[in-house]
A and B are shown apart, each in its own frame.
Chain A
Amino acid sequence: METIQNIYKVVSNEQLCPQYWRLVFDAPQIIKTVKPGQFVHIRTNEAGLEPFFRRPFSVYRAQKHVEIFYDVKGPGTKLLSLKAKGDTLDILGPLGTGFVMPLQTTKQVVMIAGGIGVAPMLILSDLLKTLKYELVLIYGGRTRAHVYPLKEFKDNGVKVHIATDDGSVGFKGRVSGLFDKIRIDPKTTFVYTCGPNPMMKAVQDFAGKNGLKGQAACEEIMACGLGACLGCSIETTKGFKTVCYDGPAFPLEEVKFH
């Protein structure tokens, strides 16, 4: 059996826009099995204990190499941003339960993402584009600095709608202002969402009101990433569930967003 913990080599690490970075590493073993919505758990300081926890990142793309999309928020992601081609990283993955596929009757797939929550949507669209769905991305960011070109989505044939809080790009306001782009038909529309909890709550309310099914990818601070410590539990209609093992992807209607 192949082990879950391995040392991988960095292929590239670049800043895509003022807010976001993309790290690419060579991990054929992860490519073989990873599913959209799964994540990798990276030890950002292999030599020391600060920061102490690993940092979890959704897999953004897994084609020739594995890619993650991140923003430099604290000491862990700061260290990650200093990694250069040829450096090595101690990575666990792929971990967690990814997205389920749309319904058999689905025609329109709507991905609704806020900020860094766009990360699992690219690998999802890589998979779904081969299956002839109408793909829509509704993407919200705070300002222009938070909106990168989204070229890969457009290359995948995804119709992209952007909302920014300050109106510097696209619609001015929340992503909920773009919900009119969603075809309200429970039979043929399926929703995937990932982003801040208030945004996912709005998506859940909208989907619930209109009978739409979907999936939500959640984020929590994690220790083990392996379902062992039970530290990243969230409340769901089925009790506490771990984001790292039972999720990150959950049926949209089951998550209790706070």
Chain B
Amino acid sequence: MTNELAANQENPDAMQETSDRKRRRILGTFVGLALVAVAAILIAEFDAGISAWFKARGVAKNPLEFPLIAAALGLIVNGLLRGTKTYAFVEPGIKTELFLKIGLVLMGARVSLPDLVTKGAGGLIQAVIMVAAVFFFTWWLATRLRIPETLKAVMACAVSICGVSAAIAAAGAVLAKKKEITYVTALVIVTALPLMALMPWIAQAIGLPADVAGAWFGGNIDTTAAVVGAGTIHGEEAQAVATVVKMAQNAFIGIAAFLLATYFVVRVERKPEEKPGVSMIWQRFPKFVLGFALMSILASFGVFSPAAIGTIKVLYKWAFAMAFFSIGLELSLRELGKMGWRPIVVYMSATVFNTVLALGVATLIFGTLGL
């Protein structure tokens, strides 16, 4: 920043260019946000219309729940924006994680404190098993297929913890290249979207109880937005369990980032004197989880009336619609061809391993043990 300022003082043309770029970015943010807001209104209208259409034909549960509509609309608009070369302009306004986190904080008002504690405890046990098993499986397979160290770390975190945000945290810890994050983001989305659509359907087909189904979605699907989407498609109970279980998994980002940074400094770069401090665990901790918990505590103490909770439910539905639409917008298939077949094989194998293991662990913890 200081260098940029000094360079600008010496070169007025560079200063003009920087300020033009900044103005363009601000404008792009507003246009992007407006685009997502208009899409959310369209999704709400479609959802209301489709539900009424099915209800009129005697189908009580709408099979085309709004996460599917939102993601499909996102994919269509994605194609249009990339086709017209306007994607880069609106990209700063596509804030998938922010929309999702706002929705999750609000959703805390619907989850009672006892539910948060019991499902959260079950979620933590499941998270320890899943994160450790999936992380080391991915690491092992990636080593065998000679994936570069930094890409291996980013992929293992993304598939075992929570997709894009874990990939970003891991990338910061191991100083991965930006193109590796973009690549893993594409992998995360290309696997999460089909899982979001298929898993609720499979859970219903094999007769999984709602809480086991929710724990399965939370333990398996990488990105939190798609976990919430799958839960929403299944039903309200699965949505709450999936969200709590996924947030328990999210809480591991800080620990994973700290351990990875330590491993890279000591073993890969061999500079033990630069070991990161334990404060990194807190720095990387996803703070929105605290917002969710605080909202749940306030609701449990009766701060929100039933009418207020009803309105809050509608508000988080809007926030989620914006997040699901944005996941469709973020998909970039072009990125997938850039690093060859090996990382794709690793990621897909890890996803299959994750799916099967999560089903077993969720059935054991939330079904057999009844947490």
Whether A associates with B in a native complex is no
Measured CB to CB, the residues of A under 8 A from B are: none
